[in-house]
Amino acid sequence: MAGALRRQVVKLADLAEADFTRLQAVIEWLVNHPDSGLYARQVPVREIDSKWLERHGGVVRSLVQGLSGRDKLGLTLKPSALLRGRLLDGALANGGPLDFAAPVPQWDALKPVPRVALILENLQSLLALPAWPGSGLVALHGGGYAVDLLGGIVWLKTVPLYYWGDLDGHGFAILNRLRSHLPGVVSLMMDQPTLSDHADLAVPDPNPVTAKLPHLTDAEQAAYLELQSSGRRLEQERVPWDEALRHLARAGLRTGVRRSRAEH
CA dihedral of 245, 249, 255, 257, whole degrees rounded to 10: -130
Residues 123 and 248 in one domain: yes
Residues 52 and 151 in one domain: no
**Own/partner long-range contacts of 39-47 (Cβ < 8 Å, ≥24 apart):** 39/75, 39/76, 39/78, 40/75, 40/78, 43/75, 47/18, 47/22
pLDDT band, very low/low/confident/very high, at 91 (cuts 50, 70, 90): very high
Residues 44 and 97 in one domain: no
Residues 63 and 93 in one domain: no
HSE (side-chain half, CA atoms, 13 Å) at 50: 0
Residues 118 and 220 in one domain: yes
Instruction: Report the share of the chain in percent with pLDDT over 90.
Output: 58
Instruction: Report the share of the chain in percent with pLDDT over 70.
Output: 88
CA dist 140 to 13, 101, 255, Å? 47, 10, 18
Considering the domain boundaries, does residue 246 fall inside one? yes
In terms of Cβ atoms closer than 10 Å to its own Cβ (0-12, 13-18, 19+), residue 192 is middle
Domain that holds residue 60: 2-68
Listed residue (21, 26, 67) closest to 43, CA to CA = 26
As a whole number of angstroms, the distance between CA 159 and CA 115 comes to 6
Considering the domain boundaries, does residue 154 fall inside one? yes
Q: How many helices (H) does the chain have, and how many strands (E)?
A: 11, 8
Considering the domain boundaries, does residue 76 fall inside one? no
End-of-domain residue from the set 68, 93, 117? 68
Asked whether residue 260 carries a pLDDT value surpassing 50, the answer given is no
The residue among 253 and 148 whose pLDDT is bigger is: 148
Asked whether residue 6 carries a pLDDT value surpassing 60, the answer given is no
Residues 52 and 113 in one domain: no
Contact 89, 130 (CB under 8 A): no
Asked whether residue 29 carries a pLDDT value surpassing 50, the answer given is yes
Residues 129 and 186 in one domain: yes
State how many domains the chain has: 2
Listed residue (223, 233, 234, 227) closest to 191, CA to CA = 223
End-of-domain residue from the set 22, 37, 68? 68
Considering the domain boundaries, does residue 242 fall inside one? yes
Asked whether residue 259 carries a pLDDT value surpassing 50, the answer given is no
Mean pLDDT of 100-123: 94
Considering the domain boundaries, does residue 77 fall inside one? no
Handedness of CA 110, 116, 121, 123 (dihedral sign): negative
- Taking every pair of Cα atoms in the chain, the longest distance, rounded to a whole number of angstroms, is 69
Considering the domain boundaries, does residue 101 fall inside one? yes
pLDDT at 261 (0 to 100): 39
pLDDT at 165 (0 to 100): 96
pLDDT at 43 (0 to 100): 87
Question: pLDDT for 208-236, tens place per residue?
Answer: 898 999 999 999 999 999 999 999 999 99
Return the DSSP state at 103. E
**Own/partner long-range contacts of 91-94 (Cβ < 8 Å, ≥24 apart):** 91/133, 91/134, 91/136, 92/136, 92/138
pLDDT at 51 (0 to 100): 77
End-of-domain residue from the set 42, 68, 94? 68
As a whole number of angstroms, the distance between CA 161 and CA 138 comes to 10
Contact 126, 82 (CB under 8 A): no
Residues 144 and 42 in one domain: no
The residue among 152 and 62 whose pLDDT is bigger is: 152
Q: What is the identity of the amino acid at 178?
A: L
Residues 120 and 224 in one domain: yes
Residues 100 and 42 in one domain: no
Residues 45 and 22 in one domain: yes
pLDDT at 256 (0 to 100): 40
Asked whether residue 50 carries a pLDDT value surpassing 90, the answer given is no
Mean residue pLDDT of the chain comes to 86
Q: What is the CATH number of the domain that holds 253?
A: 3.40.1360
Point out the least confidently predicted range of 144-158, 168-182, 201-215, 246-260.
246-260
**Nearest-5° Cα angle at 166, 164 to 167:** 105
Mean pLDDT of 76-94: 86
pLDDT at 54 (0 to 100): 75
Residues 180 and 251 in one domain: yes
Contact 115, 256 (CB under 8 A): yes
- Whole-model pTM above 0.85? no
Considering the domain boundaries, does residue 75 fall inside one? no
